[in-house]
Structure 1
Amino acid sequence: MIRTNSGTIRAAVSAMALAIGFAASAGAQEQLTVRLDFSPWGVHAGMHLAQHMGWFEEAGLNVEVQDGRGSGNTLQLVNAGRVDVGQVQLGLLGAAREEGAKVTSFAGFQRKTDLCILVDKDSEVAQIADLKGKSLVVFAASPWAAYINDFLAAGGLDEGDAEVLFVDPAALWGTYTAGRADGLMSTIGSAIPVAEASRPSKCLMLDLADLYFPSYGLIASEDTIADRGADLAKLVAVQQRAWAEIKENPQAGVEAILAMRPDAKLNPDVLRAQIQLTVDYFDTPATEGHPIGWQAEADWAQALAGMEKIGLIASGWTATDYFTNDLVE
């Protein structure tokens, strides 16, 4: 569990916010590396908008935004000290800390469970039990992998009632869009907009099984949070500014991603839909009315109860082992 002096950090954050006011920094800029989860998609809009508009520099930060190779890989790099900050699916912290990782979430932006199973939009599949006899495609390192059996069991299905196909991540979409699987395990924000062009889909959400998974936010090692809390607080403040703008004007996020990743050949309509779904999944009842990035102990406790139930973590962990709000104003 991370140990910090909350009063000291909060005082420092408040003083910092008053001092910078998003005005140009007169001193040297602090270097930060931020590793994203995958290649560019809508959930990255906050980072790209801040970089495109020069808001990091205004806050006294020189931020290198790197594309990633999966949330799990990014988490490993953060834990190893090879990057300062990761933007990942926060629910992965459960197993990671169980295995000894010293990584903590210091801001959670997309706080509602977004893991889902895509099926044809006009399919009669409407509940978990309807997946009987269906084939479902997923990749082995997906957050979904640990939840599959318990999700199906919540619908009264035994192992084998649905066929689960594990494929390489590169083959995931091709398997689904070619019709070689009835369902695709992914996240609603990333998947639904991409599927629209080739196989319009709807979603069965993980929480149908009373299982919950905190989604995208920022992580750092415990040492980095302790040693560089003021820099991380600036990063959070800039991201709050960026996402507040995007909530009002999603097109700003689209244009920023296209500008910062011009060679990625991205579809602006897909990006716009991904951004909107990201924003739609920002809040849970427990986070309503709180600042962007603030995490609720109740949400984490609910997620951890499910992780214990499926055997992903042992008993004894508490919600505050996984997150801190000390850097969120």
Structure 2
Amino acid sequence: MTRNSISRRGFLATGAGGVLAASFGASPARAATDVAFQLSWLPSVQFAGSYIAKSRGYWNDLGLSVSLNPGGPNAPVEPPVVAGNALLGISAADYTAAAVAQGAPFRIIAVAMQKNPFVIASLPDKPVNVPKDLEGRKLGMALANTPVLKALCSLNDVDFDAIEIVPTQYDAAPLLAGQVDCLLCWETDLPVAMMMRGIKPVTMLMADYGYALHSQTYIATQDSIANRRADLIALLRGEIHGWNDFHADPDAAAALTVDMFPDVGLNLDAQKLQAALQVPLMFTDVTQAHGFGWFTDDSIAANIKTLALLGQDVSADLWDRSLLEEIHAS
């Protein structure tokens, strides 16, 4: 698996690649513990909960001075976390599993996106409504995502060989030009780009058809969980407050994001659309019952099954729910 997210999320922040040479941060009003939090990509409403926590002083109130380090094509999440240069990072279950297989001592301690954002996007005149509809269609995608497609086919008894894969850049243009019948993409980006052009695509969320893979996960090292537990709990508490505020007013969260990063080229209307599409991915019956970031034993089992289809063998101890249990119990 490669970081197709480099192209997948980059277009929503066009021109941002060199704008942020360093993380942003505010001086605390009082002495506080300095903490670095490594985000997975360039600024966008994808991380609005963190921006809210920062701007509203939630972390300062909990005794932390948090630096939010932007990610990007040259700023992967895992190295600074494993090296101790960031206490917490935003990753995904497959990236974390790959790092652990190479000896990284990571644990997933919370999950932001309860539903994986991968979709098959098509147009209303030739929609892909269920996985079986992929048979006989031309699917535009990055070849690096072939294991993802094979996993979806295996989970839904779809003939993989009956799909014509067309290698494409991460762009809606091939679909709009009729070169392909559908695209493999994230719910929160290419569909947003099409809607901004007045085109309402049909999106089939792969998570609704068995593709269970935790995305936008929070990772920490076992050493940090053991020896910096109080800081991790405070960091997660502020993050949870921020995302609950996002849930209450996604449009305001989008506006805050655009205001905080005036030089990145973010479009407010696009950010509002993205925020609206994020809500059902991040807030579900599980979060309503247990709180933001929660994950269940059933979801762990489903992730293990999906990861096996992606060629990654993991066990349930990749996940550690103990910090969330402490936070939400109080």
TM-score range normalised by the length of the shorter chain: 0.7 to 0.9
SS in 2 for 1:212: coil
> Within 5 A, what are the aligned runs for 1:52-71?
52-69=55-72
Moved more, 67-76 or 130-139: 67-76
> Within 5 A, what are the aligned runs for 1:86-101?
86-101=89-104
Backbone CA RMSD of aligned residues: 2.9
1:137 paired to 2:134: no
Counterpart in the other structure of 2:206: 206
Counterpart among 39, 42, 65 of residue 39 in structure 1: 42
Counterpart in the other structure of 1:222: 222
Counterpart in the other structure of 1:188: 187
Counterpart in the other structure of 2:231: 231
Equivalent pairs: percent with the same residue?
A: 22
What residue identity is the alignment partner of 2:104?
A
Once the two structures are TM-superposed, the CA of residue 233 in structure 1 deviates from its matched residue by 0.9
Counterpart in the other structure of 2:5: none
Once the two structures are TM-superposed, the CA of residue 303 in structure 1 deviates from its matched residue by 1.4
* Maintained 8 Å contact 1:140/1:166: yes
> Within 5 A, what are the aligned runs for 1:215-294?
215-294=215-294
Once the two structures are TM-superposed, the CA of residue 304 in structure 1 deviates from its matched residue by 0.7
Once the two structures are TM-superposed, the CA of residue 173 in structure 1 deviates from its matched residue by 4.7
What residue identity is the alignment partner of 2:188?
G
Change (3 A) 1:25 1:269: closer
TM-score normalized with structure 2 length: 0.79
Once the two structures are TM-superposed, the CA of residue 91 in structure 1 deviates from its matched residue by 4.5
Counterpart in the other structure of 1:107: 110
SS in 1 for 2:323: coil
SS in 2 for 1:160: helix
SS in 2 for 1:289: helix
Once the two structures are TM-superposed, the CA of residue 82 in structure 1 deviates from its matched residue by 4.2
Tell me, in whole angstroms, the C-alpha distance in 1 between the residues paired with 2:289 and 2:30.
35
Once the two structures are TM-superposed, the CA of residue 295 in structure 1 deviates from its matched residue by 2.0
Tell me, in whole angstroms, the C-alpha distance in 2 between the residues paired with 1:122 and 1:66.
43
SS in 2 for 1:281: helix
Tell me, in whole angstroms, the C-alpha distance in 1 between the residues paired with 2:73 and 2:154.
28
> Within 5 A, what are the aligned runs for 1:2-17?
none
CA displacement 1:2-35 (0-9 Å, x = unmatched)? xxxxxxxxxxxxxxxxxxxxxx988522222222
* Maintained 8 Å contact 1:107/1:325: no
CA displacement 1:58-116 (0-9 Å, x = unmatched)? 32222221221269932344234443321233453333323432211222222123221
Change (3 A) 1:230 1:71: farther
* Maintained 8 Å contact 2:39/2:69: yes
Tell me, in whole angstroms, the C-alpha distance in 2 between the residues paired with 1:224 and 1:252.
33
Once the two structures are TM-superposed, the CA of residue 300 in structure 1 deviates from its matched residue by 1.1
Moved more, 90-99 or 217-226: 90-99
Tell me, in whole angstroms, the C-alpha distance in 2 between the residues paired with 1:57 and 1:177.
47
Counterpart in the other structure of 1:3: none
SS in 2 for 1:189: coil
What residue identity is the alignment partner of 1:227?
N
Once the two structures are TM-superposed, the CA of residue 237 in structure 1 deviates from its matched residue by 0.9
Tell me, in whole angstroms, the C-alpha distance in 2 between the residues paired with 1:100 and 1:167.
33
What residue identity is the alignment partner of 1:162?
I
CA displacement 1:280-328 (0-9 Å, x = unmatched)? 12245444411212221221111112222x15223xx432322333253
Once the two structures are TM-superposed, the CA of residue 263 in structure 1 deviates from its matched residue by 0.7
What residue identity is the alignment partner of 1:293?
G
Change (3 A) 1:104 1:248: same
Tell me, in whole angstroms, the C-alpha distance in 2 between the residues paired with 1:123 and 1:42.
31
SS in 1 for 2:140: strand
What residue identity is the alignment partner of 1:84?
L
What residue identity is the alignment partner of 2:71?
G
* Maintained 8 Å contact 1:36/1:66: yes
Tell me, in whole angstroms, the C-alpha distance in 2 between the residues paired with 1:63 and 1:247.
22
SS in 1 for 2:214: coil
- Gap runs ≥5 in structure 2: 1-26
Counterpart in the other structure of 2:317: 320
Tell me, in whole angstroms, the C-alpha distance in 2 between the residues paired with 1:140 and 1:25.
46
* Maintained 8 Å contact 1:126/1:204: yes
Counterpart among 47, 51, 54 of residue 54 in structure 2: 51
What residue identity is the alignment partner of 1:257?
T
* Maintained 8 Å contact 1:136/1:184: yes
- Gap runs ≥5 in structure 1: 1-23
Once the two structures are TM-superposed, the CA of residue 218 in structure 1 deviates from its matched residue by 1.6
Once the two structures are TM-superposed, the CA of residue 226 in structure 1 deviates from its matched residue by 2.1
Counterpart in the other structure of 1:8: none
Aligned length: 299
* Maintained 8 Å contact 2:121/2:128: no
CA displacement 1:138-158 (0-9 Å, x = unmatched)? 3355xx442211323445443
Counterpart among 126, 130, 135 of residue 127 in structure 1: 130
Change (3 A) 1:165 1:262: same
